[in-house]
Amino acid sequence: MTKNTFSDLSEALASAVSQTSGSIVTVLAGRPISGTVTADNEILTVAHVLHGDEVHVRTPDGRELKAQVVGRDSASDLALLRVDGLNLPPVTASQGALVGELLSVVGRGRGVQAALGFMGVAQPERGMRGLMPTGATPFRGVSGGGVFDARGGLVGIANAGVSRGELLAVPAERALKVAGLLARDGKVPRGYLGIGTQPVQFPDDAPEAQPSEQPQEQNQERGRRGHGGPERGMRGERGWGRGGPRGRDREGREGWGGPGGFDPRRGRIGLTVVQVEAGSPAQTAGITIGDVLLSIGGAAIRHPGQLLEAVRDHAGESLTLGLLRGGTEQDVSVTLGER
């Protein structure tokens, strides 16, 4: 008998949806959306549809239960609900979906629904607020549902309200971290560094910076998406071109920015520190006006918006900053503050 590969694939996908849908509920908010069970009696869903502190959820077996909104996180647009007597299995995080892998998006707006997706990128793309594309077609009520790999591991929490006609998702690692913080504190603290920056362009013929001979401690850092605070830079969150720490320019020389960090029309780009808040983590770490920020945790920083994203979710953590100071590259260890 001839093996029907397409039929086998179809059955496997249907089985995966049946398995994961037991952890997906309907959230009866302003309009029915989905919710994903992330822990005992806890459901993660999108925040923008919730207008009060109490909602109801409908379980896969038809029960309608009252849910309390434990907390909301505006940066990720996630909210955590607590439901007494929920008794549904929590999802488990993916062990690492690979680029090119098929994904299933499972929601339960007015009943269980699913869409086929595709793991197109390993990391959220720049300008997407830390969200990942799912490659799936949005459907009514999908927001708050789960995005799963072929083994039933959670890859992300779906959100159809961010980009018209495109279904994006909060990556599972970030979503579950937000859920844990909301469960513990009812809020997600925002990290901050305490500097104001302005991009600076180095011409192609500028002398190469020399690495520091005195290595310093390595730490991690985080900052927050504020409202006009120093980390917004001199021109808010707009991009400033391409650049960053220690890539290679078009002639093969080491420069700043990693792949693509050198723009032949502009030269190299860094962020010059033009303001340091008194008593801030930056001042404590010894960062001064005139330092040029090149990287955070080894990743190139090309514009003020990237600085915000790099520090936003890491309050209280430590990071290593790559700086250019007096023509010498050096690492500075910073422990981020909380706001």
- Examine the residue annotation and report whether 51 is marked as an active-site residue of this protein: no
259's CB contacts (< 8 A; 6+ apart) are: 247
How large is the C-alpha radius of gyration of the chain? 23
Active site residue 94: no
Q: Please list the alpha-helical segments (H only) found in 52-117.
A: none
* Active site (annotated) includes residue 48: yes
Catalytic residue among 23, 73, 76, 77: 77
The structure tokens 């770490």 sit at 285
Q: Which one from 48, 56, 204, 212 is the annotated catalytic residue? A: 48
Say what the alpha-carbon torsion angle 271, 272, 278, 284 is, to the nearest 10 degrees: 70
Phi, psi of 296 (to 5 degrees): -130, 125
Longest Cα–Cα distance of the chain, Å, equals: 77
Q: Which of 208, 265, 272, 206 is nearest to 241 (CA)?
A: 265
Active-site pick, 21, 34, 143, 295: 143
Sole residue written with tokens 């925040």: 47
Indicate the pairing of strand 328-335 with strand 210-211: parallel
Q: Which residues are catalytic?
A: 48, 77, 143
